Amino acid sequence: MVHQKFQEQSIVVPPEDLYEPIEYILSMGGKRLRPILMVMGANLFTNKLDEVWLPALGIEIFHNFTLLHDDVMDNAPIRRNKPTVHKKWNDNVAILSGDAMSIKAYQYIVSCDDHHLRQVLEVFNQTAMEVCQGQQYDMEFETRMEVSQEEYLEMIRLKTAVLLGGSLKIGALLGDASPGDAQLLYDFGVNIGVAFQLQDDLLDVYGDETTFGKRIGGDIVSNKKTYLLIKALELAQGEMQAKLVLHLNRKEFDPDEKIAVVKDIYDKLKVKEYSQKLMEAYMDKGIGCLEQVSVDACKKKELFGLVERLLNRSC
Amino acid sequence: MVHQKFQEQSIVVPPEDLYEPIEYILSMGGKRLRPILMVMGANLFTNKLDEVWLPALGIEIFHNFTLLHDDVMDNAPIRRNKPTVHKKWNDNVAILSGDAMSIKAYQYIVSCDDHHLRQVLEVFNQTAMEVCQGQQYDMEFETRMEVSQEEYLEMIRLKTAVLLGGSLKIGALLGDASPGDAQLLYDFGVNIGVAFQLQDDLLDVYGDETTFGKRIGGDIVSNKKTYLLIKALELAQGEMQAKLVLHLNRKEFDPDEKIAVVKDIYDKLKVKEYSQKLMEAYMDKGIGCLEQVSVDACKKKELFGLVERLLNRSC
C-alpha cells in the first residue's frame, strides 16, 4: 500500500534539473521502511489512515534527502545498484536537489490535521537535527583513530535509529495514541534501529553482494569504524593485533586481500558472534517496549512480523 | 533590536564541527534585512512583537543556509570579506552544516503561536522551495549562451525577491493582517527584492570594493548573465558586438583588462541607465503596493525609509 501511494505521487515541476534527480532517487525503491513504520504506528490506534499517507511520504523523502547528501559527502558511486545522483549528474545538482527534497519533505509532513501539526513538527524537527548530528559523528570517526563502543552506538542511534523511532512516534501521534504509548513506540523504533544498523554492518562483511546491493567488504576496505572493527581492536592481542593494525595503516593494498585478512581476524576473535549478541539485546529491548504499548496483542502482530523479517534479512 | 536578538542567541551544542560553521556564518553579520522586514511587517499591524522574534531569527538562519550552500556550488572563496565555510573547513562540513541550519530555521519558524502555525508554514515552505528553483535557474544560466530578460527577471524573483516578500508576509500574518494586506506586503517585498538584486548587479560593476565586501567586476570576469550583460548583448551591434563576444569567449585573459573593456562597452550602450530605470519601475510598483496596505500612512514610514536606504546604498 505504501509502495502504491508512492507510485501515485509525481513531484516533477520545472526546472527539470532540480526534480529529475529527486524522481530518480525516489524511484530507486528500497524497503520504504520509515513510511511503513509510520503507517503501522498509526494503525495500532486507528483504522482511519487518510491523514497518515502524506506525512509518511514526507518521511521517506526526508530519508532519501539524507542518503543523497551522504552519498556526496562519502563520494559513494553506487546506491541500490545504480549510479548515485552526484555521479549521474554532478555535486551541485545533488546538493541543490537534496535541499529541495528536504523542503518537499516538510511540505508533506505538515499536511496532517491542525490539531496534530505542532506535535508532529516537534518530533520531526528534533529527529531531523539528530540525523545530521549522527552524520557529523560518522564523518568525524573516519579521521579519528580511537572510537569507543559507546561512541559508535550513540552515532548509529542518531544517524539511523532515531528516524525509525520518529516515524513510529509520528504515526502514533496521528493515531491519537497517549503520550506514554507514543514514547514506547519511539523507544521500540530506536532499539530496533540500532539492531538494524548492527545487522547492516554484519551484512557488509558477511552478506551477499547481489541482494545487498553494495560491494561486500566496503567497510573493511575503508577502515570504517563499525562495531566489528572496534570490537576486534579491543580483543586482538600480540601478533594478531599487529597484523590488524598493519592492514589498517597500509596506504596501498589489494582490497580483496585486505578483506580476506581482516575477515579471518574477525572470525578468530568471534566478533560476528559478539555483534549478533549485542544486536539481539537491542532487539529484545525494543520488543519489550512494543509489548508494553497498551493495545491488544493481536494488533501488534504486523509490527512484530516486520521486525522478525527485518532482522533475519540477507539484503 | 533585531541585531541584539541575534547576539542573545547561541545555538552551539555538540558536535562542535556541525555548529561552529553555523555560528561562524551567522556571526559574519550582514544587514539582517529579512528578519527586519518580518518584524516591520508585523509592526504595521500590532505592537506585540514577542511572537515575531524567533521566526525572524529563523528566516535569517534559512537565508544564511542558502548562502552557505550557494557558496559551495559557486566555489566562492569570500563572503563578507571572510573565507567562506567550505574554504575555512571543507565542502562536507559546509553541506552538512547547511542541512542542519535549514532544520534549525524550521525550529525557529514554528515557534509562533498555534493559530498562525499553518499559514506561516505554507508561506515559508513555498518560499523556500522557490529559492531553490531560483538557484537552479541561476546555475543553469551559467552554461546557457542565451538568456532572455524575462528569464533573468524570473530567476532573481525566485532566488532573491520571494524571500523578502515571504518575510514581510509572515510578519503580516503574525500581526493578524487581513489576507489582502498580507498579499500586498508580499508583492511589495517581491518588487523591492527584484529592484534590490538589479542594484546588486550594478554594484558588482560600479560599486566600491571595500564597502561592497566582494571583488568588483566579478560578474564580468565570470560572464554572469546579469541584466547588464543581457541588455548589452541585445543592444551591441557591429564592431562593438564582435568585441563583446570576443571577450566573453576568451578562455585566457587578464581579468582587469576584461573588466575595463566590458565596462567601457556598458558605458557606451548606457546599460547602467537602462538597469536603473528598470530598477526604479520595480521600486515604484513595490511602493504602490505598500501604499495600498490599509494602515495609517505614518505607520509605513519606517518601511518607506528602509526602502529608501536600501536602494540608495553603496554596499
> How wide is the angle at C-alpha B164 spanned by C-alphas B158 and B165, nearest 5°?
80
Rg (CA), chain A: 20
> Measured between beta carbons, which residues in chain B are less than 8 angstroms from residue A133?
14-15, 18, 100
Containing H/E element for A83? strand A82-83
Contact B58, B107 (CB under 8 A): yes
Choose between B310 and A235: higher pLDDT.
Answer: A235
Q: With a cut of 60, say whether residue B315 has pLDDT above it.
A: no
Interface touch A129/B104, C-beta < 8 Å? yes
User: Which residue of A lies nearest to B108 if distances are taken between CA atoms?
Assistant: A125
**Would you place residue A144 in the very low, low, confident or very high pLDDT band (cuts 50, 70, 90)?**
confident
* Cβ-Cβ contacts under 8 Å, B103 against chain A: 102, 125, 128-129, 132
Q: Integer distance in angstroms from the first to the last C-alpha of chain B?
A: 21
- The nearest alpha carbon in chain A to B104 belongs to A129
Interface check for A41 against chain B (CB to CB < 8 A): the answer is no
Residue of A nearest to B101 (CA): A129
Average model confidence (pLDDT) across chain A:
92
Please count the helices (runs of H) and the strands (runs of E) in chain B: 17, 2
Q: A97: nearest CA in chain B?
A: B132
Distance CA A60, CA A52 (A): 13
**Which range is least confidently modeled, A2-6, A297-301, B252-256?**
A2-6
Q: Collect all residues of chain B within an 8 Å Cβ-Cβ radius of residue A96.
A: 69, 73, 132, 135-136, 139
Q: Which residues of A touch B94 (CB under 8 A)?
A: none
- The domain segmentation of chain B, as residue ranges, is 1-30+53-111, 117-310
Mutation to test the A interface, candidates B103, B108, B114, B135, most A Cβ within 10 Å: B103
pLDDT band (50, 70, 90) for residue A95: very high
Interchain contact, A17 vs B136, CB within 8 Å: yes
Q: How far is B128 from B102, CA to CA, in rounded Å?
A: 10
SS3 content of chain A, % helix, strand, coil (to 5): 75, 0, 25
- Tell me the torsion sign for CA atoms A253, A257, A260, A261: negative
Q: Taking a C-beta distance cutoff of 8 angstroms, is the pair B184, B195 a contact?
A: no
Give B113-132 pLDDT, tens digit per residue. Answer: 999 999 999 999 999 999 99
Is the CB of A90 inside 8 Å of chain B's CB atoms?
A: no
Place of cell 549485542: A278
pLDDT at site A214: 66
CA distances from A197 to A53, A111, A156, B184, B258 (A): 26, 30, 7, 51, 56
The answer to whether the peptide bond before residue A15 is cis (omega within 30 degrees of 0) is yes
Is the whole model's pTM more than 0.90, yes or no?
yes
Contact by Cβ (8 Å): A51, A113: yes
d(CA A109, CA A123) in angstroms, rounded, equals: 11
Furthest CA-CA distance within chain A: 64
CATH topology of domain A142-315: Farnesyl Diphosphate Synthase (1.10.600)
How far, in Å, CA of A175 to CA of A119, rounded?
12
Q: What is the 3-state secondary structure (H, E, C) of B221-247?
A: HCCCCCHHHHHHHHHCCHHHHHHHHHH
Q: Is B82 helix (H, G, I), strand (E, B) or coil?
A: strand
For the segment B205-245, what is each residue's pLDDT rounded down to a tens digit?
Answer: 998 776 666 678 889 998 999 999 999 999 999 999 999 99
Decide if pLDDT at B56 tops 50: yes
| Weakest-pLDDT range from A83-87, A189-193, A220-224 | A220-224
> CB distance B107–A125 less than 8 Å?
yes
Q: Do domains A1-118 and A142-315 have the same CATH topology?
A: yes
Give the three-state DSSP class for A87: helix
Average pLDDT over every residue of A260-277: 96
Rounded (10°) CA dihedral B38, B39, B43, B45? 30
The set of cell numbers assigned to B124 is 515559508
Q: How far apart are CA A170 and CA A182, in angstroms?
A: 8
Q: Confirm or reject contact between B103 and chain A (CB < 8 A).
A: yes
Residues of A in contact with B69 (CB under 8 A): 95-96, 99
From the CA of A268, how many Å to the nearest CA of chain B? Answer: 36
Chosen from B69, B95, B163 to mutate, greatest number of chain A CBs within 10 A? B95
- The pLDDT score that the predictor gives to residue A315 is 46
Contact B18 A92 (CB under 8 A): no
**Reduced to 3 states, what is the DSSP secondary structure of residue A78?**
strand
Query: DSSP letter at B280?
Result: H
Please tell me the distance in Å from A142's CA to the nearest CA on chain B: 13
Contacts of B91 in chain A (CB under 8 A): 73, 91
Q: Would you call A140 and B100 a contact, using CB atoms and an 8 Å cutoff?
A: no
**C-alpha–C-alpha distance, residues A272 and A28, integer Å:** 30
Taking only the tens place, the pLDDT of each residue in B27-43 is: 888 889 999 999 999 99
A104 contacts on B by Cβ (under 8 Å): 129
Which one of 2.50.20.10, 3.40.640.10, 1.10.600.10, 2.60.40.420 gives the CATH number of domain B117-310?
A: 1.10.600.10
Q: Mind telling me how many Å the CA of A129 is from chain B's nearest CA?
A: 6
Whether B282 and B195 have beta carbons less than 8 Å apart is answered as yes
Size of interface A-B (CB pairs under 8 A): 100
User: Any residues with CB less than 8 A from the CB of B304 and at least 6 apart, and which?
Assistant: B287, B290
**Which residues in chain A touch residue B135, judged by CB atoms under 8 angstroms apart?**
96
What average pLDDT does the segment A91-103 reach?
97
What class, spelled out in words, does domain A1-118 have in CATH? mainly alpha
First-last CA distance in chain A: 21
pLDDT value of residue A216: 83
Q: CA torsion B198→B203→B204→B209, rounded to 10°?
A: -160
Cβ–Cβ gap A133/B104 under 8 Å: no
Which one of A106, A115, A154, A159 makes the best mutation probe of the B interface by having the most chain B beta carbons within 10 Å? Answer: A106
A162 interfaces chain B, CB cutoff of 8 Å? no
Give CA–CA dist B274/B260, Å, rounded.
20
Q: What is the DSSP string of A101-130?
A: HHHHHHHHHTTS-HHHHHHHHHHHHHHHHH
| pLDDT in the model for residue A17 | 78
Minimal Cβ distance to A137: which of B15, B98, B128: B15
Tell me, rounded to whole angstroms, the distance of Cα A83 from its chain centroid.
19
Q: Does the pLDDT value for residue B12 go beyond 80? A: no
Judge contact between A314 and A205, C-beta under 8 A.
no
Instruction: Respond yes or no on whether the N-terminal peptide bond of residue A14 is cis (omega within 30° of 0).
Output: no
Q: Provide the H-helix boundaries in B1-52.
A: 2-8, 16-27, 33-43
Q: List the single residue in B69, B107, B121 with the smallest CB-CB distance to A99.
A: B69
Q: Does A117 touch chain B (CB under 8 A)?
A: yes
Instruction: Establish if B132 touches chain A: CB-CB under 8 angstroms.
Output: yes
